[in-house]
Structure 1
């Protein structure tokens, strides 16, 4: 089950969090809850708000959103003794790229595109770019590996695709999985995931959930209850995220039909916010929350 609450008022979201987190607490008040957040500074705000409104200190374990889902992938990586896959490690990708650029014959295509690649900065930069592709353009990586037709004919993607394939060859030499295999392995191990994943997951995000994490959420939403609280100033959908879901639905990795019982969204937006708040909405709320709580402590 996936329930999404979206608002441009943090108080509305915090009240909803309190309501949901207290549901069925009479049965076991010491039951540990799993809470995913953008950064650990938000932890104090949630704890203070719950304690002041419910007069109780909850047993909550906090995780960074992306790290939680990477660890979930790691937990089904049986071949490598539950290690995080190399593709999610920037330093590992850097050294793989360093080994690739040493071979001048393999890197001739980079010269063709006018890429200056014979330095560590290039390797560091490209490692960072490829990890960002995994999180923000997972469908692009999937198309590169499966040779799916890509409508984009950008020169940028042509040489990056060739470089990615060289990385995958090195990864295979290390007996590691590529991105497509990681996804397929995750899908095949749903039963095992259902045994290790918490029964309830709360997520509070001040920025849009990246497409890769959103994709994982849609895979596991039928085996756990997920409550996603999103702070957003504009009532607009994330095009990046939606295009990713559409792509994986087209290739039948995600179900095409929407199941209303397992997925619904509640939106509550207040539009009496001035132009300055729209431009600096996150900064404004951080100052507001800090002042609000520090005055009362």
Structure 2
């Protein structure tokens, strides 16, 4: 059974779920409550909310919708565990097909570029995965040659032929994909027999899933025979606006759009919510709609009210009136980041002083890129007197750190295409796991930046490197020539001496030979991997390179770095081994 609760207050929906959990506990107290969410970051907020509301938050497991569906497939159809198509297996199958004559008979253009072939394989592997989830009937029809050639476009015909090639030329004979597993599960008439031995979960709570489509809903409707499903749908609008007077049938979107949406952003959100309601209405699902409206006490509340009830008073004679002391929405024009944080701090102090019910934990500050503001937040929020100090935490710090590990690894793989500008090299050296690996301190990095500016280094490893990437050769601005100038300047301790066509350089501060050695070592390692990665290799030769890259660049004594590099190794090994398993014998990239 599926019960859907629709509201414009997310807190109300979570409270509703808490009340259901408290009032109807599971028969087995050790059985976990399952929450399905859009992303794992929401899980922390839900745990804290449940703990504050119910007094405790425990024995809860979180999944994304796709993870949960695959877990159900493996539970009900255990024989499909290692025999299904995924992005990686599809990628290698399409790569192998591009080496055959049949592939070009479909209508695709021939190319000898391995980069273009890999881009093609990547694009279609992702596209077919989307079709499996959102258009499973297309995949099933293609496999059974059910195609209407009169109404099907040329691109869809080519895609259907490519899919047929994939399944017919499959040497490993993978039996399953999402489409046929979906059909297999829907065709099971005796699913009720599992109810007696079903131990996985007795209740599933789905929290405002944005990728809930018709396919997923059909599956959930089928699975609702095994466990209760609570669907929490958040909508900024009064959803009753989309329904007819009997509250059962949905109005046409043309009527909804014309009557309610004039603003393009609201129209987009309205179309999304309308589609979601239409999907829910296609199944026999019990829907309960709660719309909360606040007293229009300030400008922010008035705008929220207008959005909720789709009221767009755009006549020339209509104006919103508000008190000049109303600070519910305020806009500040600042001349730099530091001034922004100073104004933010002063405003937060005023809010906390005026309203005792508001605590620092109730305040959320959102920024598009919080890392730009981090040093100013630390300096301003920590230097004020204790009386005006506000406790804070910068949530995005760890996320940026984790992303920097993955992003740097991706940059290493594209070293053969880089021109090695000074900003790029210095940005690498500022990464914590890099400067620890090559033993740079903060003070040394500041000095190094001065050395690089003084020696006039711009880009390029050497003259040979500039020739390879078709950039006009000027060795006097390359890293090799600049480092040679530093070494010569340190060795002779004199100005404007030319030795072996190298002009020495001297600094107001004495050159530190250790800094030059560390820089030389880092540039040498970069150049070594540039040469290694610019050549195509057999897959068996690609396999050990990941570990060698990590050993050369990453300082892995940190537990977080070690954890992320293990993820990189696992993804790398899975990707390469799948290609080997699919008998891809050509040189790759």
State the TM-score, normalized to the length of structure 2: 0.40
Distance 1:166 1:68 in 2: 30
In the alignment, what sits opposite 2:447?
Answer: none
With over 3 angstroms needed to count, the CA separation of the structure-2 counterparts of 1:156 and 1:274, relative to structure 1, is farther
Structure with more strand by fraction: 1
> Which residue of structure 2 aligns with residue 250 of structure 1?
none
The answer for unaligned runs of 5 or more in structure 2 is 240-272, 294-302, 310-359, 365-390, 394-589
Conserved in 2, the CA contact under 8 Å of 1:134 and 1:212? Answer: no
- 2:7 is aligned with 1:7: yes
Match of 1:35 in 2: 35
Per the TM alignment, residue 143 of structure 1 is displaced from its structure 2 partner at its CA by 2.7
Aligned to 2:212: 209
Aligned-pair CA distance for 1:222 = 2.1
User: Equivalent residue of 1:227, what SS?
Assistant: strand
Corresponding residue to 2:236 among 225, 233, 236 = 233
SS in 2 for 1:177: coil
Q: Which runs of 5+ in 1 are unaligned?
A: 247-257, 279-289
Aligned mates of 2:277, 2:132 — CA distance in 1: 12
Please say if residues 171 and 178 of structure 1, whose CA atoms lie closer than 8 Å, have aligned partners that are also in contact: no
In structure 1, how many angstroms separate the alpha carbons of the residues matched to 2:27 and 2:164?
53
Determine the C-alpha separation between the residues in 2 that align with 1:239 and 1:15.
22
Flag the structure with larger Rg: 2
CA 1:152 to 1:41, structure 2 compared with 1: closer, same or farther past 3 Å? farther
| Correspondence 1:292 to 2:362 | yes
The 5-angstrom pairing of residues 1-297 of structure 1 reads 1-25=1-25, 31-80=31-80, 82-83=81-82, 85-87=83-85, 89-111=86-108, 119-148=117-146, 153-171=152-170, 173-178=172-177, 181-186=180-185, 187-188=187-188, 190-191=191-192, 193-194=194-195, 195-196=197-198, 197-234=200-237, 235=239, 236-238=273-275, 242=279, 259=284, 263-270=285-292, 273=304, 292=362
CA contact (8 A) 1:86 1:93 kept: no
Count how many residue pairs are aligned between Structure 1 and Structure 2: 266
Structure 2 CA distance for partners of 1:106 and 1:98, relative to 1, 3 Å: same
Q: Take 2:221 and 2:234, find their aligned partners in 1: how far apart are those partners?
A: 19
Task: Indicate how the Cα distance of structure 1 residues 206 and 69 shifts in structure 2: closer, same or farther if over 3 A, else same.
Answer: closer
1:16 deviation in Å? Answer: 1.0
Hey, what's the Cα distance between the residues in 2 that align with 1:26 and 1:103?
56
Relative to structure 1, the CA distance from residue 27 to residue 98 in structure 2 (aligned partners, 3 Å threshold; closer, same or farther) is closer
- Structure 1 residues 92, 73: CA separation in 2 closer, same or farther (over 3 Å shift)? same
- The Cα shift of 1:135 comes to 1.8
